[in-house]
Amino acid sequence: MTATVTPMVSVEGLVKVRSQSESVFELHVPRFTVLPGQMVAVVGESGCGKSTLLDILALVMVPTRVALFRIDPGGGPAWDVAALWEREDEGALARLRRDSFGYVLQTGGLLPFLSVRGNICLPGRLKGAEISAGRLEALSRRLGIEGCLERMPLSLSIGQRQRVAILRALAHRPRLLLADEPTAAVDKTRARTIMEDMRHLAVDEGVAVVVVTHDLDLVMDRADLAYTFETEQIGGQTTRSVCRPLAEASP
Amino acid sequence: MNARSRPLRQIPALAASHLCHEWILTLCLVVALAAVISPLLVLLGLKYGTIQTLRERLVEDPVFREIRPTQTREFVPRWFDEVSAWAGVGFLTPTILPLSSVVQVVAREEGKNELFDLVPTAPGDPLLLENGAPVPAEGEVVITSEAARRCRLEAGGAITVRISRSRGGRSEQVEVALKVIAVLDPRAGALPRVYAPLSFVLDVEAYKEGYGAPARGWAGQTPDPYASFDGAVLLLAKPLFPIARTGLIINTGFGRIAEVSGEKIQELFGFLPPPGFAAYDLTAPGGSVTASNLQAVDQKLRGQEKVLLPYAQGIELMIEGEALPPIGLSLDGEQGTLLRVEPPPWGGNRGNLSKNGVLLQMLWPSAKPPAKEDAVAVSFAGMDGALAFNLHLTGSTSLPRPVVPVELLGVLRTATQRKVFFDKEMERFQMARGGFRGFRLYARSIDDVPPLYGKLKAQGVEVTAEVAAIERIRTLDRGLSRLFWLISLLSLFGGTSVLVSSLYAAVERRRRDLGVLRLLGFARWHVFFFPVAQGLIIAALGLVAGFGGYGVLALAINRAFSSQLAPGEAFCFLPASSIPLFSLATILLAALASLVAAWRATCIDPAEVIREQ
For residue range A79-125, what is the model confidence (pLDDT) as tens digits?
A: 999 999 999 888 899 989 988 999 998 886 899 999 999 999 999 99
Model confidence at A251: pLDDT above 70: no
Confidence of residue A4 (pLDDT cuts 50, 70, 90): low
Enumerate the residues of chain B whose CB falls inside 8 A of the CB of residue A61.
Answer: 607
Enumerate the residues of chain B whose CB falls inside 8 A of the CB of residue A58.
Answer: 519
Report CB contact under 8 Å: B17, A122: no
Report CB contact under 8 Å: B607, A61: yes
Model confidence at A14: pLDDT above 90: yes
* Cβ neighbours for B505, distance < 8 A, ≥ 6 positions apart: none
Report CB contact under 8 Å: A126, B6: yes
Q: What is the pLDDT of residue B613?
A: 65
Confidence of residue A1 (pLDDT cuts 50, 70, 90): very low
Give residue limits of the domains in chain B: 6-60+469-609, 68-223+435-465, 228-431
Enumerate the residues of chain B whose CB falls inside 8 A of the CB of residue A103.
Answer: 519-520
Q: What is the pLDDT of residue B429?
A: 81
Model confidence at A250: pLDDT above 50: no
Cα B281 to Cα B309: distance, rounded to the nearest angstrom? 10
Q: What is the pLDDT of residue B607?
A: 85
DSSP state at residue B563? G
Q: Which of A27, A85, A125, A172 to mutate to test the interface with B (most CBs of B within 10 A)?
A: A125
**Residue B82: CB atoms within 10 Å:** 11
Enumerate the residues of chain B whose CB falls inside 8 A of the CB of residue A110.
Answer: 516
Chain A contact present for B508, CB below 8 A: no
* Chain B residue with Cα closest to A120: B520
Report CB contact under 8 Å: A98, B520: yes
Q: What is the pLDDT of residue B361?
A: 85
Chain A contact present for B567, CB below 8 A: no
What's the sign of the alpha-carbon dihedral B465, B468, B473, B477?
positive
Backbone angles phi, psi at B137, to 5 degrees: -95, -175
Q: Which 3 state secondary structure label does DSSP give B559? A: helix
Cα B353 to Cα B426: distance, rounded to the nearest angstrom? 13
Angle at A229 between CA A224 and CA A233, to 5 degrees: 175
Q: Which of B4, B520, B522, B529 to mutate to test the interface with A (most CBs of A within 10 A)?
A: B520
Cα B21 to Cα B292: distance, rounded to the nearest angstrom? 108
Enumerate the residues of chain A whose CB falls inside 8 A of the CB of residue B519.
Answer: 58, 60, 97, 103, 105, 109
Enumerate the residues of chain A whose CB falls inside 8 A of the CB of residue B606.
Answer: 55, 60
Enumerate the residues of chain B whose CB falls inside 8 A of the CB of residue A60.
Answer: 518-519, 605-607, 610
Q: What is the pLDDT of residue A2?
A: 46
Confidence of residue A242 (pLDDT cuts 50, 70, 90): very high
Within 14-33 of B, beta carbons closer than 8 Å to A belong to 14, 17-18, 20-22
Q: Which of B268, B191, B201, B199 is nearest to B235 (CA)?
A: B268
Q: How far is A51 from chain B (nearest CA, A)?
A: 9
Q: Going edge to edge, which strands form the sheet with A238-245?
A: A79-80, A68-71, A9-20, A23-34, A238-245, A225-234, A39-43, A208-213, A176-180, A101-104
Q: How far is B516 from chain A (nearest CA, A)?
A: 6
Report CB contact under 8 Å: A126, B606: no
Chain A contact present for B529, CB below 8 A: no
Give me the residue from B519, B524, B607 closest to A97, CB to CB. Answer: B519
Strand-strand pairing, A225-234 and A208-213 = unpaired
Give me the residue from B18, B518, B521 closest to A123, CB to CB. Answer: B521
Report CB contact under 8 Å: A113, B518: no
* Cβ neighbours for B57, distance < 8 A, ≥ 6 positions apart: none
Q: Is B374 exposed, middle or buried (0-12, 13-18, 19+ CB in 10 A)?
A: exposed
For residue range A135-176, what is the model confidence (pLDDT) as tens digits?
A: 999 989 988 888 899 999 999 998 899 989 999 999 998 999
Report CB contact under 8 Å: A98, B518: no
Q: H/E element holding B80?
A: helix B77-84
Chain B contact present for A92, CB below 8 A: no
Report CB contact under 8 Å: B521, A98: yes
Report CB contact under 8 Å: A91, B4: yes
Strand residue runs (E) in B186-315: 193-197, 228-229, 231-236, 256-259, 278-283, 289-290, 306-311
Q: What domains does chain A contain, in order, with CATH numbers?
A: 9-245 (3.40.50.300)
Report CB contact under 8 Å: B610, A105: yes
Helices (H), B261-394: 262-269, 291-300, 333-339
For residue range A35-62, what is the model confidence (pLDDT) as tens digits?
A: 998 999 999 888 888 889 999 999 999 9
Residues in chain B with pLDDT values less than 70: 1-5, 107-111, 351-357, 370-372, 433-434, 613
Enumerate the residues of chain B whose CB falls inside 8 A of the CB of residue A109.
Answer: 512, 516, 519, 610
Model confidence at A217: pLDDT above 70: yes
Strand residue runs (E) in chain A: 9-20, 23-34, 39-43, 68-71, 79-80, 101-104, 176-180, 208-213, 225-234, 238-245
